[in-house]
């Protein structure tokens, strides 16, 4: 595949970064649409999205610097290469930082938390889909060895240097599977948004759908460096996926029970 999209002089434009950037821009603009549908302040949703994205990126960079501090002391210029490094732990750190920033901003601006989460559900799924397309091009989060006809084979040495991707071996295009799952989830959430009646339902469905997508696609992803747990029965992302499904189910169950209590109170 193509870990480098193109060159500008001596600078490399990585395919992963370019694809992720496109996904972020499309997600930001989509959030404006979902905010209008939900009747939320479009400007506040824009500011929240930008600040949360910035918080996620800062958290990921700081974690990378901390993890590689010893090497960076001897080779300070290597800090420029950290943007090429991808790891599930970084995704978790970014997700936590972004979620925390979202909650704090929404609370300070008195934005309804559940309705805000609904607005961000489809844009987040769309952004993750483009992130996985970039991972496919870069060889990051590569799949297991396979003999299927649609396998991908990486030959660019930069894929091995940046992501540890095995070269010359047919691999499952698991990043494409994940991207398709997130694209489908984003479309479903957009279609469901006008029909949802309770705030938080869309966010609950998004959490459950995203968790299921991650758990299933991890079955075709190489487990190297992904944190094997329970004697290899699960890896780190699968454990996180289970947590997402449980959180989404609890959110939906809470709203169902609340609606039932409200109906009983009106009788």
Contacts for 81 with CB less than 8 Å, ≥ 6 apart: 162
What distance in Å separates the CA atoms of residue 139 and residue 84, rounded to the nearest whole number? Answer: 11
What distance in Å separates the CA atoms of residue 113 and residue 93, rounded to the nearest whole number? Answer: 21
Task: Report the largest interatomic distance among the alpha carbons of the chain, rounded to a whole angstrom.
Answer: 72
Confidence of residue 76 (pLDDT cuts 50, 70, 90): low
pLDDT in tens, 233-259: 787 788 889 999 999 999 888 756 555
pTM of the model: 0.85
Determine which helix (DSSP H) or strand (DSSP E) holds 11, and give its type and residue range.
strand 11-14
Asked if pLDDT for residue 143 goes beyond 90, the answer is yes
Neighbours of 243 (CB within 10 A): 12
Confidence of residue 267 (pLDDT cuts 50, 70, 90): very low
pLDDT, average across residues 124-137 = 92
Confidence of residue 93 (pLDDT cuts 50, 70, 90): confident
What is the per-residue burial (b if ≥16 Cβ within 10 Å, else e) of 55-93?
bbeebbbebbeeebeeebeeeeeeeeebebebbbbbbbb
Q: What's the chain's average pLDDT? A: 84
What distance in Å separates the CA atoms of residue 47 and residue 40, rounded to the nearest whole number? Answer: 13
CA atoms within 13 A of residue 188's CA, in its CB half-sphere: 17
Asked if pLDDT for residue 97 goes beyond 80, the answer is yes
pLDDT in tens, 201-232: 999 999 999 999 999 999 999 877 677 777 76
Local structure of 222: helix, strand or coil: coil
Write down the domain spans for the chain: 4-260
Range name among 27-31, 120-124, 220-224 with the lowest pLDDT average: 220-224
Asked if pLDDT for residue 260 goes beyond 70, the answer is no
Pick the residue with more confidence: 10 or 146? 146
* Distance, CA of 71 to chain centre: 28
The total number of residues shown for the chain amounts to 267
Q: What is the pLDDT of residue 263?
A: 46
**Crossing angle of the two packed helices 88-108 and 236-266, in degrees rounded to 10:** 30
């Amino acid at each position: 595949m193509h870990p480098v999209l193109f060159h500008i002089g001596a600078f490399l434009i990585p395919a992963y970064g370019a694809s992720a950037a496109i996904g972020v821009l499309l997600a930001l603009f989509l959030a404006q649409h979902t905010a209008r549908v939900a009747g939320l302040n479009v400007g506040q949703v824009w500011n929240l999205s930008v600040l949360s994205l910035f918080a996620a990126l800062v958290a990921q960079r700081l974690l990378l610097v901390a993890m590689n501090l010893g090497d960076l002391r001897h080779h300070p210029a290597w800090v420029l290469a950290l943007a090429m490094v991808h790891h599930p732990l970084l995704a978790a750190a970014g997700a936590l930082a972004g979620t925390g920033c979202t909650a704090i901003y929404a609370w300070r601006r008195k934005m309804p938390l559940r309705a805000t989460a609904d607005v961000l559900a489809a844009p987040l799924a769309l952004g993750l889909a483009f992130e996985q397309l970039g991972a496919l091009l870069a060889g990051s989060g590569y799949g297991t060895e396979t003999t299927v006809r649609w396998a991908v084979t990486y030959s660019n040495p930069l894929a091995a240097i940046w992501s540890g991707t095995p070269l010359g071996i047919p691999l499952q295009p698991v990043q494409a599977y994940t991207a398709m799952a997130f694209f489908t989830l984003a479309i479903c959430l957009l279609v469901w948004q006008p029909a949802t009646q309770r705030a938080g339902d869309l966010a609950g469905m998004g959490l459950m759908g995203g968790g299921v997508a991650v758990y299933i696609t991890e079955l075709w992803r190489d487990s190297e460096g992904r944190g094997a747990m329970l004697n290899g029965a699960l890896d780190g992302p699968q454990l996180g996926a289970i947590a997402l499904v449980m959180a989404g189910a609890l959110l939906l169950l809470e709203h169902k029970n609340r609606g039932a209590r409200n109906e009983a109170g009106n009788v």
